[in-house]
Amino acid sequence: MAHAVKVKGIGVDPETRCTHYHSEIDRIAIKFYCCREYYPCFECHQAVGCGNPQVWPKEEFSQKTVLCGSCGYELTTAQYLQCESTCPNCSAAFNPGCSLHKHLYFE
């Protein structure tokens, strides 16, 4: 594991992949606003999370909310939304398809 951050979920591997999303580029975890815990995806949060999903409000986009599973770097929401699916610290590729679900995490 390249990081010491606890990531909750189902079948989470050392780079934060889970049972639901496990391709080579599925290597981020999202800190949920409601419980301030990291999960690989909304499905993991739904299955084993707090039961009260809430999205990060725009005024808190400066908070560290996304974890690179490759190097452990924590991105702010603003950094993540502008990173073009690449970790700004280690250049690991993130799944660009995650942008289809951003409304589940961020306002």
Cα-to-chain-centroid distance, residue 54: 14
86-94 long-range contacts, Cβ below 8 Å, gap at least 24? 92/27, 92/68, 93/25, 93/27, 94/25, 94/27, 94/28, 94/68
- Report residue 31: phi and psi, to 5°: -85, 120
Q: What mean pLDDT do residues 99-105 have?
A: 94
**pLDDT of amino acid 38:** 97
With cut-offs at 50, 70 and 90, classify the pLDDT of residue 13: very high
Summarised one tens digit per residue, pLDDT across range 16-51 is: 999 999 999 999 999 999 999 999 999 999 999 999
Taking the C-alpha atoms of 42, 27, 94 and 45 in order, what is their torsion angle to the nearest 10 degrees?
Answer: 10
Answer whether residue 14 shows pLDDT above 80.
yes
Strands (E), the chain: 28-31, 38-39, 64-68, 74-76
Contact between 16 and 45 under an 8 Å Cβ cutoff? The reply is no
Q: In this predicted structure, what is the pLDDT of residue 3?
A: 77
Domain positions in the chain are: 28-104
> Does residue 15 carry a pLDDT above 70?
yes
